[in-house]
Amino acid sequence: MNKILVTVVLFLTYGCLNILWAQNTEISATRVSQSPVLDGNLSDNVWNQAVPFSGLKMVEPYPGNEPTENTEIRVIYDDNNLYLGIRCFDNEPGKIASNTMEHDQGEDRTDDKISILLDPFQDKRSAYIFIVNPRGARSEGFAAGEHYSLGWDGIWDAKSKISSQGWTTEIKIPFKTISFNKNLNEWGLNVERYIARKQEVIRYSGISLNSFFSNPVEAGLLSGIDSVKQGLGLTIRPYGITGFDVDKTTSEPADKVLDGGFDIYKNITPNLVAAVTYNTDFAETEVDERKLNLTRFPLFFPEKRTFFLEGSDIFDFGAGAMGSFHPFFSRRIGLYEGSPVPITFGSKLYGKIKNTNLALLDVQTGATDDLNTQNLFAGRISQNILKESKFGIVGTYGEPTGERNALLGVDFTYKTSRFLGANNLIISMWGIQNWNEKKSGNKNAAGIKFDYPNDLWDIALNYIYMGDSIQPGLGFMPRNSYHYLYTGFSYMPRLEKGWIGDLIRQWFLEFRVTNYWNLEGNLESRSIFTAPVNFRTESGEHIEFNVIPNREVLPMDFEVSDGIIIPQGDYSFVNYRAEVNTASFRKLQFDVSYRFGEFYSGHYNDLETEVTLKFNGYINLQVGGNFVNGKLPQGDFSEAIYSTRLQLYLTPDLGLSNYVQYDNVSNMMGYNGRLFWQVRPGNIIYLVYNTNMERRWTPNPRFYTTENQLRFKVQLSIRI
């Protein structure tokens, strides 16, 4: 009888504790009739109507522990906006890291920050990410599984303040900015705080080291959302632009520019968007970073243009199983061999229909001296299945050069974050068929990948077959005609005992083998990457040393540098690499990577350095370079890139970016200056100046200006 009584008491106690725990760990949104003033202070009385939540738990370094600093979250909303007020207590406010006001720097661990994951569909596949630091610098993007991207630029706002108790932030997310399921009153939500000087991560939900914040499956719940409005879901973004272009290599007068265009976005449903663009201009887009290339293959440069970034996450294909191959690469549209191609008209449809993800893009380009006008199309449809998995198709039609080209691909991704309990597992398969003007050869490609990305063990196996005549008209494919096999594992222990545990936060012992064979089965490339020394210290520094044996079987002569030709043949050589990175939250930061050793039939040295000076977010100065020297029997070569980036900010909405680059391969120095002022979210004024100068040695060694470009652009956002 006593045993039964004890059992009943324990059962009731456990049940009551579970109920209390559930009540204390749920974040609830409170509807209010008056909006708060967005100033970062949390002093408005309206915040007192919200139920405060302070149940965040530590993820790193000790999962499940109580945080060293308290955090308090309040959520309110009205008909049009969702507001989050977050108070980050800190016993040492003078040590809060707040080094930047630059937009879209959320992926870097340079600052203390608050990250918000919002899943308004509860589909557990994708979500919105909003990130704010103590200076009010904002980043936003899409989250999906292990990673998130900052490609999406939504209209929202945030203000932050540092005080004697820590720092606070107020976040305003208009319902017009996001897509959502209007029939749900519970949304997926996760909140993460990062304390930079401690490398401490604390979180609302998903507190295992194997839990990715960007995985919506790990999100908790935000309850209480009801009867919110998206309006007509119509956004009109007109722009006007003026300026001039000067070609200094001719005697022609300056070309004056006076133009305009617009983008229109219409929410067909709360989660499906149609967009059109007319006479699109990307004058405000920052120039690409210059890179040295000692390989036989072209380099990949990311998309930066807003129109193509909207909904770009839906185009993701193969879940990381594609290697360097991308069946759709939006930079093929509107850019040709590095020069802009005018976009006359474009249309886009993207979003969700229940469990179906959809993105359709059609663009009409204008004519240039080298290209005729073209119509280019890309589409992607995927279906959510099981809890975290999906299958889909991708298709493209057209090619910037005007050749006939079409591509169709199918992919399936099985994903779970509950493998053998709470581990991540991804299995992805894909296949591609291409139709192009090549008369013969194999125009198919296929691949499969097994990925086990977890905190202690990260194991991956990836195989790709690429036909010899595949040529995606709107894709990126640095090499074709190969079998590719990648195998890799990383063992990443966190030793907590002894003096090593006191000094080092985590080890990263890595072993990766990359192989390329031609279609006859003969080896073309092999690289074995090892990291016998690779660790991150408790203070945030990173130290790494690599040994990298390589084998290259060149099928033809290879010009590695101007006039230096490596003959075809079989080459085996070993590289070494040493890297040191100081903690990114420091006011003065150093990053050094030095690669050296054998290189084909000779030797080379490859040094990359960068020094960053930060002054409370108002001034960021980066000075860096990449210097390569090679000694080969065919001759010696020396290549270098020098870069300086100076960013001046008065507020996160008003700043001046200056970027200077010079390389001795083209002997060109370029300057990109961008002044921007966001008068209010979505309404931005840009003043952009670009100049290129060529270094000549005759008659006197100096830089000669080859071209100047000035643009003044005003972009508005009218939302109804």
Which bin fits 186, alpha (ψ -120 to 50), beta or left (φ > 0)? beta
Query: CA 32 to CA 51: how far, in whole Å?
Result: 12
- Mean pLDDT lowest for which of 309-318, 642-651, 666-675? 309-318
pLDDT at site 19: 34
Distance CA 278, CA 240 (A): 12
Q: Band the pLDDT of 325: cuts 50, 70, 90.
A: very high
Average pLDDT over residues 24-46: 90
pLDDT given for residue 588 in this prediction: 97
Task: Tell me: pLDDT of 360 over 90.
Answer: yes
Q: What pLDDT shows up at residue 152? A: 80
Residue 67 in this model has a pLDDT that exceeds 80? yes
pLDDT the model gives residue 25: 64
For the chain, the average pLDDT equals 92
Dihedral in degrees, nearest 10, Cα atoms 284, 290, 296, 301: -30
How many other C-beta atoms are found inside a 10 Å radius of the C-beta of residue 578? Answer: 14
> Is pLDDT above 60 for 545?
yes
The predicted-structure confidence for 331-354, as pLDDT tens digits, reads as follows: 999 988 878 899 999 999 998 888
CA pair distance 516, 503, nearest whole angstrom = 40
Q: What is the pLDDT of residues 198-212, one digit of tens each?
A: 999 999 999 999 999
Q: Which has more pLDDT, 605 or 303?
A: 605
151 pLDDT above the threshold of 80: no
Residue 207: the pLDDT is 95
Between 319 and 646, whose confidence is greater? 646
What's the pLDDT score for residue 677?
Answer: 97
- Cis peptide leading into 61, omega within 30 of 0? yes
Lowest mean pLDDT: which of 6-15, 194-203, 503-512, 578-587? 6-15
Nearest CA to 538 out of 507, 508, 504, 509 is that of 504
Mean pLDDT value of segment 2-14: 38
> Where is average pLDDT lowest: 229-238, 439-448, 476-485, 624-633?
229-238
**Cα–chain center distance at 277:** 24
> Mind listing the pLDDT tens digit for each residue in 485-526?
999 999 999 988 878 888 999 999 999 999 999 999 999 999
Q: What is the mean pLDDT of residues 710-715?
A: 96
- Structure confidence by residue, pLDDT tens digits, 289-299: 999 999 999 99
Cα–Cα distance, 621 to 647 (Å, whole number): 6
> Is the distance from CB of 260 to CB of 242 less than 8 angstroms?
no
pLDDT reading at 425 higher than 70? yes
Mean of pLDDT values over 171-175: 95
Residue 433 Cα distances to 314, 324, 407, angstroms? 20, 17, 6
Give the type of residue at 167.
Answer: W
DSSP string computed for 452-482: EE-SSEEEEEEEEEE-TT---TTSB-S--SE
Mean pLDDT on 263-273:
87
The alpha carbon torsion through 94, 95, 101, 106 (nearest 10 deg) reads -150
Helix spans in 25-45 (H): none
User: In DSSP terms, which residues pair with 132 in a beta bridge?
Assistant: 114, 138
Say if residues 352 and 370 touch (Cβ distance below 8 Å): no
Whether 551 has a pLDDT exceeding 60, the answer reads yes
Tens digits of residue pLDDT in 494-504: 988 878 888 99
Give this prediction's pTM.
0.89
Mean pLDDT of 237-243: 95
Q: 3-class SS at 262?
A: strand
